[in-house]
Amino acid sequence: MTVSQVSFGSHEPVLEVKDLTVKYVGDTRSTTAVDRVSFSIGTGEIFGLAGESGCGKSTIANTIMRLLKDPAKIAGGSIRFGGKDVLAMGPEELRRFRWQDVAMVFQSAMNSLNPVLTIGEQITDIYTTHAGYSRKESLRRAAELLELVRIDPVRLKSYPHQLSGGMRQRAVIAMAVALKPSLLILDEPTTALDVVVQQEIMAQIKELQHELGFSVLFITHDMSLMVELSHRMAVMYGGRIVETAKAADIHTAPQHPYTQALMGAFPPLTGPRIPLTGLADGVKFHNIPDLAEVTPGHFVAPFAATDTASAHNSAAACGPATSPALLEGAAR
């Protein structure tokens, strides 16, 4: 595959993932969660990874930071970060690589903070471990960080349970940019938050990205959010990437029937009410082939023409295939 040549922001990719395969190995059977996935992210680029739950998005994120735990096994492929082979790193090199080069905001900010340490301690240990600053200097920088995400620095002395969900998520984002990493992985950073706070958080991330210029791997199943934020995006299905292109292209002209179904599952905020379409009941894609370039920079996994016909379905005939929104659409 030649997807790596089409990074958006710059010619030099920060992250290059090639033919990555991750399996969850069991005693009797194994599941391939990520199947020969390739993509790359350029400097300053925001790359979105979309797909339904269980399609392998988070597994990819965890693989990039080498956070996989048994029974997950990397079965093949390579991950290169700024020319370094991530999969070949030793424990000490890996420890330094984490957070300095790649930082990550996890799905549930609620649970990603240690309940018995103050926010301050959890920020300063980043500095004391990686940058070797003194405690005082670390505290000063931690206060600056909190100000960056508009949290009052007196909160350094607070424990996680004393902060609201949105504040906790912002504190986690502040931690993520503490060492000015060149890549930030956002793994559904706003899933547990209400829409208003979601907007604030996303605006915050955009602002920080503008200021600090890091690249972003943005993972979500919220297509509207993704199209709005990303430069380029990929759609995953069953561990495979079925389509990748500029976000705008996927928004206006999705090619793969799965992408079309995913886009169709979200109602437009304005305009006339239209029936939502999704994947028809029981439609599954098997043996998804490698991507092929259809227009410059727009790669789609080849699919049989009959797929489109059978996959597309008006709301009236739809079962609860992909989205609850579908049912709402049908009820109107």
Partner 1 sequence: MRFILRRLGFYLIAFWVSITLNFLLPRFMPGDPVSRMFARSAGQMQPEQIEALRKLLGVDSRPIWEQYADYLHNIVTGNMGVSITRFPTPVTEVIASQIGWTLLLGGTALVIAAVVGNLLGILAAWRRGGAIDSALPPLLVFIGSFPYFWLAMGALYLFGVILGWSPLRHAFTDGLEPAFSWEFIGDAGAHLVLPALTIVLVSIGGWMLGMRNTMIATNAEDYITMAEAKGLKPGRIMFRYAARNAMLPSVTSFGMGLGFVVGGALLTEVVFAYPGVGYQLLNAVQGLDYPLMQGLFLTITAAVLLANFLVDILYVRLDPRVRAS
Please report, as ranges, the residues that interact with partner 1 according to CB under 8 A.
65, 67, 94-100, 103-104, 106-108, 111-118, 125-126, 129-130, 159, 161-162, 172, 175
Identity of the residue, 172 or 201, whose beta carbon is nearer to partner 1 in the bound complex = 172
What are the backbone dihedrals phi and psi of residue 44, each rounded to the nearest 5 degrees, phi first? 75, 10
CB of 85 vs partner 1, minimal distance in Å: 18
CB of 321 vs partner 1, minimal distance in Å: 30
- Strand 232-237 and strand 13-25: pairing? unpaired
What are the backbone dihedrals phi and psi of residue 3, each rounded to the nearest 5 degrees, phi first? -60, -30
Identity of the residue, 95 or 206, whose beta carbon is nearer to partner 1 in the bound complex = 95
Identity of the residue, 142 or 175, whose beta carbon is nearer to partner 1 in the bound complex = 175
Given a contact cutoff of 8 angstroms between Cβ atoms, the answer to whether 36 and 20 are in contact is: yes
CB of 92 vs partner 1, minimal distance in Å: 10
Q: Please state, in angstroms and rounded to a whole number, the distance separating the CA atoms of residues 66 and 104.
A: 12
Identity of the residue, 117 or 197, whose beta carbon is nearer to partner 1 in the bound complex = 117
CB of 236 vs partner 1, minimal distance in Å: 21
Q: Please state, in angstroms and rounded to a whole number, the distance separating the CA atoms of residues 200 and 170.
A: 9
Identity of the residue, 94 or 325, whose beta carbon is nearer to partner 1 in the bound complex = 94
- Strand 298-300 and strand 240-246: pairing? antiparallel
CB of 301 vs partner 1, minimal distance in Å: 31
**Which of 319, 256, 244, 324 has its CA nearest to residue 285?**
256
Q: Please state, in angstroms and rounded to a whole number, the distance separating the CA atoms of residues 201 and 205.
A: 6
